[in-house]
Amino acid sequence: MTDAQWNQLCSAVTGSGETRDTALVAFIIDSPWLPGWAGSTILNYFADDELWFEANRAAIEAFPEAIFIPGFWAEYGMCTEPSAFGARCVFKENEFPFAHPVIASIEEADRLPDPDPASDGLLPFVRKRLEWALPRMEAIGHRPRFSISRGPLNVASFLLGTTEFLMALRTDPGPAHALLRKVTDFLLRWHRLQRERFPSMEGVMILDDIVGFLGEDDFLEFGLPYLTELFAQDARVKLFHNDADCLTSAKHYPRAGINLYNPGVQRSIAEILEWTEGRLTVMGSIPPRDVLAAGTPAAVAEAVTVQLAAHAGTGRLIHSCAGGMPPGVSTENIRAFLGAVASGAKAGAPR
């Protein structure tokens, strides 16, 4: 992300919500979309530094009007954080990587290690890839802006199994809290290491879809306290991604310190802005699979135009898809998206 893009993003999330002079478009892009778009398999994208870098560079050069978040994301899918706890990670040629559970029951949580992010699992490879890429990024005007991790519930669900973890929240709350405490402490260490090594990381990005599977009481007990700790880090942009349902949790996001939210399609932008009393910016919410990936360029442009009309004068909106960029989104559809936003802005639609 360039300095100009970073300043635009900061202005969008830290301002008072007034109408902006420029319509912003941003997309979360990573391994589900970039390898296929760049003509690579997922495994080659993870394994080859040059291929990874060139795929990211090609995207920013092809679509200069868009802000790509986080930009040059060094990651190994959902295996990144669980690998530090010893998860067996499966990497097939062109499928999303998967981390197998480490413990068979919540009672075993206390035997999990306290990983060192400087040396354990795939985390050193994440750091080294960014260190290798940093001079190349800076040569084209980009710098890493976000320390990144999956959220505590997301990581815990991989370590135990999603069904088993969700059941444990109700049947064994004490051990469940112990697991979340261990995971959160690890994530805090991981963010601290990233930010120490890369001082340009003035943003924090947390992704946790498991939040969307909790009722409000469970979110307040098992989600909010740990997310609040993670978002308490000194940062200008505090981005939270949860593209599962946010009915029971979104109104509490500002309390956690979140100022930028990337939701799913379950709830409208208007609902989320109302629930959060305009205290955070929403990055969304064109349907990612059914419109941005599967639709025609005309269908994408129409959906964006409808969103523009529905939110005229809304300063708390960054135009994007709901969730991250999905597999299969074509160059033509992204250009249709960007063109519709530009046309709407010229016509006096929302900024």
> pLDDT by residue (tens digit) across 282-291?
999 999 999 9
Rounded Cα distance between 201 and 72, Å, is 13
Contact between residue 81 and residue 159 where contact means Cβ atoms under 8 Å apart: no
Rounded Cα distance between 234 and 213, Å, is 28
Give the contacts of 217 (CB within 8 A, at least 6 positions apart): none
Question: Residue 345 — very low, low, confident or very high, per pLDDT cuts 50/70/90?
Answer: low
Check residue 295 and give its pLDDT: 98
Q: Answer yes or no: is pLDDT of 17 > 60.
A: no
Average pLDDT, integer, range 153-176: 98
Residue tagged 């760049």 (tokens): 38
Length of the chain: 351
Q: Answer yes or no: is pLDDT of 313 > 90.
A: no
Question: Residue 351 — very low, low, confident or very high, per pLDDT cuts 50/70/90?
Answer: very low
Check residue 90 and give its pLDDT: 98
Average pLDDT, integer, range 17-27: 74
Q: Answer yes or no: is pLDDT of 349 > 50.
A: no
Which backbone phi and psi does 54 adopt, to 5 degrees? Answer: -65, -35
Q: Answer yes or no: is pLDDT of 3 > 90.
A: yes
Contact between residue 224 and residue 217 where contact means Cβ atoms under 8 Å apart: no
Query: Is it true that the peptide bond before 70 is cis, omega within 30 degrees of 0?
Result: yes
Give the contacts of 262 (CB within 8 A, at least 6 positions apart): 28, 239, 240, 241, 242, 243, 282, 283, 284, 320, 322, 323, 324
Give the contacts of 285 (CB within 8 A, at least 6 positions apart): 263, 264, 265, 268, 269, 307, 320, 321, 322
CATH 3.40.630.10 assigned to 3-346: no
Query: Is it true that the peptide bond before 31 is cis, omega within 30 degrees of 0?
Result: no
Give the contacts of 20 (CB within 8 A, at least 6 positions apart): 11, 12, 315, 351
Q: Map out the domains of the chain as residue ranges.
A: 3-346
Predicted TM-score (pTM) of the model is: 0.95
Using a pLDDT cut of 70, give the percent of the chain over it. 96
For residue 154, the one-letter residue type is N
Using a pLDDT cut of 90, give the percent of the chain over it. 93
Q: What single DSSP character describes residue 78?
A: B
Q: Answer yes or no: is pLDDT of 149 > 80.
A: yes
Q: Answer yes or no: is pLDDT of 241 > 70.
A: yes
For residue 257, give Cα distances in angstroms to 150, 190, 264, 269, 300: 17, 19, 20, 19, 33
Check residue 199 and give its pLDDT: 97
> pLDDT by residue (tens digit) across 298-312?
999 999 999 999 987
Q: Answer yes or no: is pLDDT of 350 > 50.
A: no
